[in-house]
Amino acid sequence: MPNYRRDYTLGGCYFFTVVLQDRRANWLIRYIDAFRAAWRAVAVHYPFTTIAVTLLPEHFHAVLTLPENDHDYSQRLGALKSLFSRSIPPICRQTNASKQNKRESGIWQRRFWEHRIRDRHDLERHIHYTYYNPVKHGYVRRVADWPYTSFHRDVKNGLFLPDWGEAIASSSQNLYDD
């Protein structure tokens, strides 16, 4: 069994990539209201601050900050996966014996990508990557055209201009391969 080395820094800021089992599915945007409800419910029970989040059809990226006395992002992601999985139609669930034994729904990949944000520059790079991802994958031509993102909140709050990303550097396009 692999021994994953996770960084559990109290009050840490983290970048995550979480992926559906079926990379061809579109459950995250098809059932966006269920995802948003699950996100809000998890934030109430296990607080965190959403710095940036973008949902694509079969995966999402998020930059989150945990409370200063907490490091358990796995609990939050597990709760989010569980709530969302239980709120969408059963036909979406792909179960096999291994997943049933572990009480998994079959919607999500078992693992997720986690990266602790190290400094201001690292934070900026991961926010940019998160927001630019729909353009990178060819879903839209402009970041502002993708509706499933906190980018619009940040534009409203004056953190980004509406045309941000139209001349983005290739380093933000390819921070990670996904």
Catalytic residue from among 73, 129, 132, 148: 148
Q: Are 149 and 53 in contact (CB under 8 A)?
A: yes
CA distances to 10, 24, 57 from 69, in Å: 5, 38, 33
Q: How far is CA 62 from CA 22, 101, 133, in A?
A: 20, 29, 11
The phi-psi region of residue 165 (left if phi > 0; otherwise alpha if psi is between -120 and 50; otherwise beta) is: left
Residue 38: exposure state from Cβ atoms within 10 A (0-12, 13-18, ≥19)? buried
Q: Is 31 a catalytic residue?
A: no
Separation of CA 53 from chain center: 6
- Contact between 108 and 58 (Cβ < 8 Å): no
Q: Which residues are catalytic?
A: 148
